[in-house]
Amino acid sequence: MSEKAVQQPDWRRGTVTSNGIRLATYELGDSSKPTVLLVHGWPDTHHLWTHIAPRLAERYHVVAYDCRGFGESDRPRQVAAYSLDELADDLYAVAESVSPDDAVHVVAHDWGSVQTWEAVSRPRANARIASFVSVSGPNLDHLGQFVRDQVASPTPRHLRNVLAQSMSSAYTGLFQLPVLPNVLLRALGNPTVWKQFLRAVEGTPPENVDVADSLRRDMVTGLALYRANIRAKLLRPDPRTTTVPVLQVVNERDIALRPAIYDNTPTYAAKLWRRDTPTGHWLPYTHPEYLTGLVLDFLALQTNSGDPAPAIERARLFTEPKPLAGKLVVITGAGSGIGRETALALAERGCELVLADLDLASADETARACKVAGSAAHAYLLDVSDTADFVAFAARIRDLHGVPDIVVNNAGIGLAGGVLAATDEQVDRLLDVNLRGVVTGSREFGRQMVERGVGGHIVNIASAAAFTPSRSLGLYSASKAGVLLFSESLRAELAEHRIGVSAICPGLVDTNIVSSTPIAGLDAEAEQARRDRLDRFYQRRGFTPDRVAGEIVAAIEHNRAVVPVTVEAKVGYRIYRFAPWLSRIGARQNVTG
C-alpha cells in the first residue's frame, strides 16, 4: 500500500540568481510583514518546512528556497561551487530579492544552519539578518576551534567529547571518498527507504516526512557540501563573532552532532539563546509543532510583537555551558532539607525554579537563595495532599511559566510507631502527602510533558524504608514502597515519550523531618523524648541533605531508575533483593526505641 502524500502548502514560486546560479524560491503569507527565510540542509529541499511554514505564514512573510544542488535549483558540477562562501552569497541574494528594504529572520536546519552561521559572521550581517534560529547545525569554524581546544588540554572529559563527536561524524569521512558513497546513497535515496531509515534512527513518523522527487539526486549532489568544507574548516578554522541574535536549538539525541560541540558558541555569539531538548536531528519532521512554537516565541521577542515567552526567557539565561541550563524545574517541599538543597544545586546549573511548600515563608527563603546563585526562582504555597489544589497549581504553572522540564516530588512527612497504634487521621495524612501527592504531581506534570512531546524528567523521593521493613515504620515504609513501585511502573509507561522517572531512596539523612515526625501510641512527653533521641542520632550520623541533592542531580543527568542514597540504603537495597530473610529478621528491631 502506498503512503499518503503530505499536503503541500500553496507556495508562490519564483527564482533568484546568485553568482550565475538559479535558485528556486517559494513564498507564503503577506509580503508586507517581516520576512522569515527558511534554509534547509542535506538531503532536504524546501519540503522540509511543509509542516512549519503555513503556521509561520499566519504572522509573517515566509520564504523558503532550494539551496544550490538541491530540488529545482541549479546544480553546479564543481565541488568548489559548494563552499560556504558561495552558499552564504546565495542566502544574501535571496534575502535581498524577497525583502529588499528590511533585514530577514532566518530559520535554518543542518547544512542550512551551517551556511547561515557563515552568513551571520560577515560584517554586513546586521543590515540584512535580523535574527537566526539554528537547528542541528554548527558553525564549522567554531567546531574546528572546539576540537583544537579539547585536544590542546586533553582531560578525560575533553577526550570523551572529541571521541564521541568523531564517532557521530564518522559518516563524513565516508562522504569524502570518490565512488562508494555515491553507490550507497543511490540505494538510500529511495523515498520509502529514506523514511524508514529516519524512523529507525530517531523515531520519525514516516507520514511526517516530505521529500522531493529529486531525493536520490540531491543526496549524491549534496556530497559536495562535505567535500568542499569539512576538511578545510577543521584544519584551518577561522572563528568570528556575530552580534546577530541567535537561538541555538540543541538536540540532545542528535545522531550526528553531540551537544558538547556547541559549548564554545557563547564566545562568538554576543546575543545568544540556547534551548536543549531530548530530541533528534530531524526536529522539523519529528516535532514540527514544538519547533514552530519556539520560532514564533523567538520572533515575537525580536520583533517586539508580544511579551517574551517563558521558554525563551529561560533560554536567554544561558551565558556559559552548564548541564541542565535553561530547564524549568518544579520542586515540592522546597522550603527546607532535601528540597531546598536540590533547588540550590539546580540553580547553580542554570535552571529556573518553581518552588512549592506548605510553608510559603520557607519557600520564599529558598527562592531568595536561588536568586543569589544567579537563577530565576518563584515561590508558591501548596499542600500536596489537596488533590484539587495540586491540579490547579500544575495548570497555573503551565500558564505562567510553561511546561516544566524536570519535576521533583519531594514533599513528605514521617510517621513512626506501631501500625496498630496509629490513628486514622495519621494514616490518611501520611498517605495523602507521601503517596497521593507524588501520584498527583507525576500525573499532572507528566501529562503536560507528554502533550508537549519533547521529553522531560520526574524525580520522586522515596526512602530506604521502601525496601527495609521495620516494626516501627510500617506505615511510613508502606507509603514509600508505594512511591518506589509507582515510580518504576511510571518509568516504563513514559519511556516511549522520552520522559525519565527516578526514585530516590535516602537512608539516614539529617533533615527536619525527624524532629516533626509523630510517633503513634505515645503520650506527648514520651513522644518528644523519643523524637529528641532520634534527632540526635541522625545528627551524629552526619549525612546532610546537600549530598542527597547531588545524587538527585546525577539521577536526572544520567536518567537513573532507582537511586539508594547512603551506605545503609545501598546495603539494605541489596539485602532486600538477594537475602530478604535478613530484612525480615532486622524488621523485628524497634528502631524508634
pLDDT tens by residue, 375-422 = 899 999 999 999 999 999 999 999 999 999 999 999 999 888 888 989
CATH, residue 209: 3.40.50.1820
Check if the beta carbon of residue 519 is closer than 8 Å to that of residue 527. Answer: yes
Looking at the fold, whether 251 and 365 belong to one and the same domain comes out as no
pLDDT value at residue 527: 60
Residue that wins the pLDDT comparison between 512 and 362: 362
Cβ neighbour number for residue 18 with a 10 Å cutoff: 22
Same domain? For 119 and 227 the reply is: yes
Q: Which residue, 281, 316, 351, sits at the end of a domain?
A: 316
Instruction: Choose the final residue of a domain: 316, 351, 376.
Output: 316
Domain-terminating residue out of 282, 316, 350:
316
At residue 366, the pLDDT reads 97
Dump pLDDT digits (tens) for 434-491.
Answer: 999 999 999 999 999 999 999 999 999 999 888 888 877 889 999 999 999 999 999 9
Sign of dihedral through CA atoms 568, 569, 572, 578?
A: negative
- Taken in order 504, 505, 510, 513, the sign of the CA dihedral is positive
Report whether 194 contacts 188 (CB < 8 A): yes
Query: What's the pLDDT band for 3 if we cut at 50, 70, 90?
Result: low
Q: What number is the average pLDDT over the span 363-370?
A: 97
The number of CA neighbours under 13 Å toward the Cβ of 492 is: 5
Give the per-residue pLDDT at 469.
81
> Mean pLDDT, to the nearest integer, of 575-586?
77
Instruction: List the beta bridge partners of residue 446.
Output: none
Q: Which domain holds residue 188?
A: 12-316
The CA–CA distances, whole Å, from 344 to 3, 261, 336, 411, 461 equal 51, 27, 11, 16, 17
Q: Does one domain contain both 282 and 362?
A: no
Average pLDDT over residues 101-113: 97
How many domains does the structure of the chain reveal?
Answer: 2
Say whether both 212 and 353 belong to one domain.
no
Helix axes 111-120, 84-98, angle to 10 degrees: 80
Q: Is 268 a catalytic residue?
A: no
306 lies in a domain? yes
The pTM of the full predicted model, rounded to 2 decimals, is 0.85
62, pLDDT greater than 90:
yes
In a domain, 323, yes or no: no
Whether the CB-CB separation of 386 and 408 falls below 8 Å is answered with no
pLDDT at 2: 43
Q: What is the pLDDT of residue 1?
A: 33
Most confident of 90-94, 476-480, 537-541: 90-94
Q: What are phi and psi of 326, to 5 degrees?
A: 85, 0
Are 286 and 155 in the same domain?
A: yes
What is the amino acid identity at position 465?
Answer: A
CA distance 495 to 498: 5
pLDDT score recorded for residue 473: 81
Query: Residues 249-305: pLDDT tens digits?
Result: 999 999 999 998 998 999 999 999 999 988 999 999 999 999 999 999 999 999 987
Choose the weakest-confidence range: 56-65, 102-111, 520-529, 578-587.
520-529
Mean per-residue pLDDT over the chain, rounded = 90
Residue 34 lies in a domain: yes
CATH of the domain at 498: 3.40.50.720
Residue 592 belongs to some domain of the structure: no
pLDDT of 543 over the 80 cut? no
Indicate whether 321 belongs to any domain.
no
Shared-domain flag, residues 403 and 348: yes
- Which residues, in sequence order, are CB contacts of 168 under 8 Å at separation 6+? 254, 255, 256, 257, 258
> How would residue 325 be classed by pLDDT, with cut points 50, 70 and 90?
confident
Same domain for 343 and 213: no
Phi, psi of 36 (to 5 degrees): -110, 120
Q: Are residues 239 and 200 in the same domain?
A: yes
Q: Are residues 130 and 279 in the same domain?
A: yes
Element (H, E) at 546: helix 545-558
Give the per-residue pLDDT at 152: 85
The C-alpha cell at 258 is 553531540
Evaluate whether 343 touches 370 at the Cβ level (below 8 Å): yes
Q: State the pLDDT at residue 535.
A: 61
Catalytic residue among 65, 226, 476, 573: 476
Domain identity same for 568 and 448: yes
Query: Do residues 74 and 82 make contact, with C-beta atoms less than 8 angstroms apart?
Result: no
User: pLDDT value at position 59?
Assistant: 95
The residue with cell 537512608 is 507
CA distance 502 to 296: 33
Which pLDDT band holds residue 356 (cuts at 50, 70, 90)? very high
